[in-house]
A and B are shown apart, each in its own frame.
Chain A
């Protein structure tokens, strides 16, 4: 079959040597490794379809990959699998300013998509932290979030149409450029977030928005996570929907200050980065109101940026959170449990308490506006004893999250990393329906086997 693949794609588009394969044996997670059988670089949807048909002949699993920066193990190969790496299908095919749409191949980098939109005064809002390297195909397959989720939604909200290669090698297109379309089932929603298990996304049609004319950035420090959370509720109650509401907990603030030395108060319990965007008059008004609300709800200090450069400096505290945490220990495990916004402060204290009880180091930061937390474990995968405590902590955190009506993953996906907890979150009939769907679309379990379902 490898020979047939070579004929189909050309010698330079198939990798089989160990030195070439080792770098494809992992993704953005720390601990999952599996060498693939081969890595193929198709250049067209038709080639992908042909690859899938070839894989059928020998029952070879097919793993789809973009830049391999996923955080749940979704593109880690399974044994004997072929990785279809779509990085060479990276064209931004067209931007249609009249209809506010953008068409791109799934290997296009998300940041490039936003840059292309910007040249027309438009923007593509979903901004996952990895956007400078992650591909739109990967973002769609995981339904990635980002910092602007509260105001602008997630990737799903911007997908108008998809071209998908189905597990049987057929090519299907779902959706179109119409704002409204109810012809047939809404199949594109099935594939968005399906983590490469139901089909291979090869092309996307995205919705764009007009680029906001202005943006204001503020940084506020708080004596408790509760007062930060209260501030967020009060802002939303005041009918203001900021585009960014990012928080850092005390552990994270200390690591950031250690690393960046920008003068953050290390005894404050919470830090909130707030941004509002839109029409300049509205932005000025909202920013003033937000700063006032923060102070009313117990903020120690609120700093508003008056220039772009200053805004960047304020935002550095939040943007360097992950870097600051990642430097502390060899292994960094980033989780993304999510709870309804009103329970966020409670969840953050629970995580801190769990960390203290089990003698672990966990820094929590995340998107306060939509309840998406990123508890980040700072540990060492070679320390077996500590790793078992990490798993214990994860179990406790998951149970608490679910008891508050939350989810085990807000944006990273199940992949390999969270399979074990899926039955805890989904009731039996829901899980069963999902399995049936997978079985119907992919009876031979060729596409990304071993992912999602325990």
Chain B
């Protein structure tokens, strides 16, 4: 991405204080300076000024980084680590150092195909859904036919998400109006993994918005936000997706554009920077950034009508896990907790290390399985220590990662809990 500020300048903002080190999960694991943000910044700078070529070791280091941005929260000097990180990954892709036929194939299938063609992604989802619900999956697992898969796919197979019965376009009409007078005109982003595996969360988001006087516009087919492309060194594809979304949701038409996925929201908020040097989009991208809101952020701003009924017949204990890109990437930690506090019949127990990465980190659980597993284990221990019956989290990646380790734990998006509470007293909200 053409840096508006040069990479050496961005890297020079680092004052070497080391306050990022204790917050970095990889430094915590190895205690090696190169596996810390401070160390990585020094390597990125060395490469940028020509002191170090882009080597395999450098490429490995940038893959080992989670991109969790806990360092940005800790950093006193306001270093824009996210930009340095994405720049480094893009440079590494351009160098071709990591390339292999298999890797190129996987990247092509996902980044170039599935995550640029929403209809294709849904078709793939439907196929997977059929496989999961028709009995085929049970048979394949019983007969251990997964042995036929290549090793890495075989390892991943058990953690494939359960595909939703209906996708967002089957749950939400393109235009839904509230029964009370319209206060705000909202666009709702339905996402990719959210749409395929947790479409009900999108329905719940729409319900909560409707209950608070919002007119909700939800185009039935939406392209990927481009976050996965940007985090994996495919800047041009990220830009393409950004342009398509801006065209689909003209920011001038809406009071707010809502994201309910922490990982996506963090990227969606910076379209202005992504398209800064595109004269036909730069102005609208800057306007997009102003309109883009995380659902918790937006609901807190408009001061929602607090629900009057508890969501469940019995009181429940809940705990909240901060998605890295919501907490560190977007600095949204107060609002989800404030919203949860509005719900009757709920006791919120604090989660130790609530903003320590769970290991999902985009595709990290696929590319760095050991480190991902270490982090998941740490997170699971803390969750179990709360004895909460429900875990609340606002990012599909975290949701999936933790559900895989704790299949019997009830995991909900805070907005789903809110919707459930509203449903007890507002019959006009449609349930599933």
Q: Mark A23-47, 1 if CB is under 8 A from B, else 0.
A: 1111111100000000001000000
Taking each of B16, B22, B58, B77, which has the highest tally of chain A beta carbons within 10 Å of its own beta carbon? Answer: B16
A-chain residues with CB within 8 Å of residue B13 when the two chains form the complex = 330
B220 at the interface (CB under 8 A from A): no
List A contacts of B32 (CB < 8 A): 15, 20
Interchain nearest-CB distance for B10 vs A (Å): 10
Given contacts A130-B18, A133-B18, A326-B77, contact A23 B9 (CB under 8 A): no
A19 touching B34 by the CB < 8 A rule? Answer: yes
List the B side residues contacting A41 at CB < 8 Å: 31
A133 touches B21 (CB 8 A): yes
**What residues of chain B lie closer than 8 Å to A26, measured between beta carbons?**
16, 42
Whether B76 and A322, one on each chain, are in contact in the complex, defined by CB atoms closer than 8 angstroms, is yes
Among A15, A19, A134, A326, find the residue whose CB has the most chain B CB atoms closer than 10 A: A19
Q: Tell me whether A332 is interfacial, beta carbon within 8 Å.
A: yes
Q: Which of B18, B51, B78 touches A28 (beta carbons < 8 Å)?
A: B18
Q: How far is the CA of A30 from the CA of B38 in the complex (A)?
A: 12
Are B58 and A19 in touch, CB under 8 angstroms? yes
Q: Given contacts A19-B43, A19-B52, A26-B42, is CB(A332)–CB(B18) below 8 Å?
A: no
Q: CB-defined interface of B11-27 with A at 8 Å, one 1/0 digit per residue?
A: 01101111101100000
How far apart are the CA atoms of A28 and B19 in the complex, in Å? 10
* CB-defined contacts of A133 to chain B, threshold 8 Å: 18-19, 21-22
Tell me, in angstroms, the Cα distance from A109 to B52 when the chains sit together.
32
Q: Tell me, yes or no, whether A17 is within 8 Å of chain B by CB.
A: yes
For the complex formed, measure the closest distance between the CB of B92 and the CB atoms of chain A, giving whole angstroms.
Answer: 13
A426 located at the interface, meaning its Cβ lies under 8 Å from any Cβ of chain B in the complex: no
B51 to chain A, nearest CB (A): 8
CA distance A242 to B76 in the complex (A): 27
User: Are B21 and A22 touching (Cβ within 8 A)?
Assistant: no
Which parts of B21-57 form the interface with A (CB within 8 Å)? 21-22, 31-34, 36, 38-39, 42-43, 46, 51-52, 55, 57
Which residues does chain A contribute within 8 Å of B16, judged by CB atoms?
26-30, 69
Q: Which residues of A contact B43 (CB under 8 A)?
A: 19, 22-23
B61 sits at the interface (CB 8 A): yes
CB neighbours (8 Å) of A17 from chain B are: 57
CA distance A258 to B39 in the complex (A): 29
* Nearest-neighbor residue (CB-CB) of A27 within chain B: B16
Question: A389 to chain B: which residues have CB within 8 Å?
Answer: none
By Cβ-Cβ distance, the 10 closest A-B pairs, closest first, are A23-B39, A323-B76, A23-B33, A69-B18, A326-B77, A19-B57, A87-B31, A327-B78, A23-B34, A330-B12
Interface residues of B (CB under 8 A from A): 9, 12-13, 15-19, 21-22, 31-34, 36, 38-39, 42-43, 46, 51-52, 55, 57-58, 61, 76-78
Given A19-B43, A20-B34, A130-B18, 14 other A-B contacts at CB below 8 A? Answer: A19-B52, A19-B61, A23-B33, A23-B34, A24-B33, A25-B42, A67-B18, A68-B18, A109-B22, A132-B19, A132-B22, A133-B19, A326-B76, A330-B13
17 CB contacts below 8 A, A to B, read A18-B52, A19-B43, A22-B34, A22-B51, A22-B52, A23-B39, A27-B16, A28-B17, A69-B17, A132-B22, A133-B18, A326-B15, A326-B17, A327-B76, A330-B9, A331-B12, A332-B15
